[in-house]
Amino acid sequence: MTAATSQPRSRLSIWLIGLLFGPIIVMLWLGRGWLALVYLLAQLIYFGIIFLAVGSGFVVPPAMADLGTVVSVLGLPFNIIAIIHGLKLRTTSLSRPWFSRWYIVFILPLAAAWVILFILLRTCFYQPFNAPSTSMVPGIMLGDYFLVSKAAYGYSRFSFPFVLADFPGRIWAGEPKRGDVVVFKLPRDNTTDYIKRLIGLPGDRIQLRDGVVYLNGAALPLTPVQDIPCLEGAHCNYLRETLPDGRSYIINNANPNGSADNTDEYVVPPGHYFMMGDNRDNTLDSRFGQNARGGGVGYVPYENLIGPVVLIYWNSLGIRIDDRLEGYPTK
């Protein structure tokens, strides 16, 4: 089908579309499909480098409360470049291919983003979350944005944002490991997203004595850590806790006589897991049963697991990310 020709696009339309919607829409509006793809690739590389630099700790993120604002500000240079480019192209871009019609210009990118980003990536591979509390300090800080691997443990009925099928258990199941930082659906409502560290596997015996975790009768070693900044004022007592397989991470046990520092022994049922927050005196976790006053977490069923955290890529409070997801191995 031969593309129709028309009058040049108005300068005002290029300015408005460029500022509000960005370079890809501008190029589609001008009928330059290949340039739209070039801008798309350039933006993916640009934002990939930025988030990689922040996620690896090379760059401290600016303190901005909303990630959408961050993306808009960081994308502004691309918008300006596209406007200047579009104004230069407007008199030579007179061809009007099918994708330059106004309704397709806006619907096509939105539909593609919905299918690729939401349905494919978010549902099947990696889902973004953010930390609304300090229950996992210092491994996960307030304001952290992170990705959870959906494929790591396989898929359950809670893996999808909408109900595709109500099936029991998991498909393509993978085994969680002690020490994983896990996002899961709160068992007492199967709706609320929680994030904790997996401490106990099915069949494990867990007890706390004076703030020390006893796993199957053996205490998990604790080593003081001095060189991590206290981001909660004067209420920090950072300790490195080491699991039997040698995996370690940092916890905060600020109050040696906390309300859950001494417990009865828990025996994790088959098909369930025992979760604890790293900020041991400021977390609602498996130490508190679902019938606890005000509601607790209790043992978490396997099918409630969404997946482990695999990458922290931003912090809205301007906190450096470093290697804390790996448990500060250099500290």
**Does position 7 have pLDDT exceeding 90, yes or no?**
no
Domain with CATH 2.10.109.10 in the chain: 127-326
Distance set, CA 70 to CA 36, 314, 315, 322 (Å)? 22, 10, 11, 20
pLDDT at position 3 is 57
Least confident of 9-18, 33-42, 158-167: 158-167
Q: What is the mean pLDDT of residues 301-307?
A: 94
Catalytic residues: 135, 196
- pLDDT for 144: 92
- Report the pLDDT value the prediction gives residue 292, as an integer from 0 to 100: 77
Higher per-residue confidence, 99 vs 94: 99
Q: How far is 144 from 57, CA to CA, in rounded Å?
A: 13
**Domain 127-326 classification at class level:** mainly beta
Question: Among residues of the chain, what percentage have pLDDT more than 90?
Answer: 45
Average pLDDT, the chain: 86
Alpha helices in the chain (DSSP H): 11-21, 23-29, 33-55, 67-89, 102-113
Pairwise CA distance, residues 88 & 19, whole Å: 16
DSSP-derived secondary structure for 175-212: ---TT-EEEEE-TTTS-SEEEEEEEE-TT-EEEEETTE
* pLDDT, tens digit, 9 for 90 and up, residues 210-249: 999 999 999 999 999 877 777 655 578 899 999 999 999 9
Mean pLDDT of 271-298: 90
Residue % of the chain over a pLDDT of 70: 92
Q: What is the rounded CA–CA span in Å between residue 3 and residue 201?
A: 63
Angle at which helices 67-89 and 33-55 cross, to 10°: 150
- Is a pLDDT exceeding 70 seen at residue 1? no
pLDDT at 230: 77
pLDDT digit string, tens, across residues 143-178: 899 999 998 999 888 877 665 566 677 888 789 999
Q: pLDDT digit string (tens) for 316-330?
A: 888 888 788 777 766
Tokens, residue 148: 């959870």
Give pLDDT, residue 162.
Answer: 63
Compute φ and ψ for 128, nearest 5 degrees: -85, 145
Of 198, 211, 184, 195, the residue nearest 274 (C-alpha): 198
Listed range (41-55, 88-102, 288-302) with the worst mean pLDDT = 88-102
Residue 93 or residue 2, greater confidence: 93
Higher pLDDT, 158 or 275: 275
| pLDDT above 90 (res 92) | no
166 vs 39, more confident = 39
pLDDT of residue 62: 77
In this predicted structure, what is the pLDDT of residue 96? 78
Nearest to 83 by CA among 130, 41, 154, 27: 27
Helix, strand, or coil (residue 126): strand
